[in-house]
Amino acid sequence: MTDMPRILHLVDDATPGGITRVLDHIRSCPLMAQTARHELWTVARNAALPRCDADMIVSHLSLSWRGLPALISLRARHPGTPLVHVEHSYTEAFTALNVRAKLRFFTMLRTAYALFDRVVAVSEAQGAWLTRRRLVPAGALRVIPPVVDLAGFRALPAPQGAPRVIGAIGRLHRQKGFDILIQAFRQLPDAGLALHIHGSGPEEAALRALAEGDPRIRFFGHSGQPEKVMASVDLVAMPSRWEAFGLVALEARSAGRPVLCPRLDGLATSAGADGLFVTGHGIDAWARALQRALAATDSTPDRAAGCEAVFAEGWAELIASCCGHAKRAPQSAGAGAAPGTLIAAGLS
């Protein structure tokens, strides 16, 4: 156990969400603990990064021009330590919808990625985009789809009969496309249907305004019990405008719930082969797709078997390729935290 590599994960967004839950899984999963000791430091966004005593440093940071000096300093102060970046955010669809100065944006990404020994894409589609745009050299790229502990989702009984409750689960942000879903749902005449929206975010007031007057649409806010939320719905709709992976889709599959989503970015991976894919984001197209999905009664639960093992194997291979079997230097004061310890760096 003492010779296990110490892997330090840096994150600048500790708000509840998919990244936080994946990092919690990394630190608590027994499979992950078989090959390394994983620790987490929370740092301030775009601020100076700490000097780290670790066998490998993993960035889950938000990349930007403003944050580049901190990354350059991190690289300079750890010349012999493998650095890895996990790209949780940027995708082809994100860039198409949100980036005007694309050449400048791609220059920033190439510059940032070049500071790392490896870059991890969270889906095959994202990895293909990074390669196609020559943002990451092929030899430096790894694809490791994220995962959380899915046991609680797999334990849920699959819905019986035609779906009646549609679930929209996630941050209430333009990215998630819940505005499209609400307008499409309102075209369905069946008074016995329900749309349950679980989450919070900056678009809540606008979404409530879109739903006003339709008692079938209910808002439940953010929940810290995702399995309980999944148990309350029969089908999950994800009209996302961009999505690096789509953890909710993986959780829905594990719970035997159909997933309705566009085939873009990482959703083609997370929704699985049995995903119900919608072309585009047109409201009428989504209304028709909802009608088809709600009429289906013969879906077979997927349950996403083996995802946790694939995730652990991917990380084990990454760590072995970066760290080999070299023993790390003696720990400095405060570096011997137990596996899974959350360390707040306290930087400003």
> Region 26-33: what's the mean pLDDT?
96
Crossing angle of helices 178-185/283-295, nearest 10°? 70
pLDDT at 164: 95
**Confidence class for position 2, pLDDT limits 50, 70, 90:** low
**Strands 165-169 and 235-237, how do they pair?**
parallel
**Strands 165-169 and 194-198, how do they pair?**
parallel
Q: Which amino acid is at 328?
A: R
The total number of structural domains in the chain stands at 2
Give the domain range for residue 166.
151-295
Does residue 182 come out as left (phi exceeding 0), alpha (psi in the -120 to 50 range) or beta? alpha
pLDDT at 17: 79
Sheet with 217-219, strands from edge to edge, namely: 217-219, 194-198, 165-169, 235-237, 259-262, 276-278
pLDDT at 342: 32
- Is it the case that residue 145 has pLDDT exceeding 80? yes
pLDDT at 296: 81
Task: Encode pLDDT of 46-72 as tens digits.
Answer: 888 989 999 999 999 999 999 999 999
Say yes or no: 20 and 53 in one domain: yes
Residue 160, domain CATH: 3.40.50.2000
Cα→Cα distances 162→12, 277, 284, Å: 42, 18, 21
Task: Encode pLDDT of 155-183 as tens digits.
Answer: 999 998 889 999 999 999 999 999 999 99
**Strands 83-87 and 235-237, how do they pair?**
unpaired
Say yes or no: 193 and 287 in one domain: yes
Our separate counts of H helices and E strands in the chain read: 14, 13
CA 255 to CA 286: how far, in whole Å?
23
Domain-embedded: residue 300: no
Domain-embedded: residue 94: yes
Say yes or no: 83 and 14 in one domain: yes
The answer to whether residues 262 and 278 touch, using CB atoms and an 8 Å cutoff, is yes
pLDDT at 346: 30
pLDDT at 183: 98
Residue identified by tokens 């990244």 is 19
Task: Encode pLDDT of 88-128 as tens digits.
Answer: 999 999 999 999 999 999 999 999 999 999 999 999 999 99
Task: Encode pLDDT of 291-345 as tens digits.
Answer: 999 988 666 678 999 999 999 999 999 999 999 843 333 333 233 333 332 323 3
Say yes or no: 163 and 77 in one domain: no
The answer to whether residues 74 and 57 touch, using CB atoms and an 8 Å cutoff, is yes
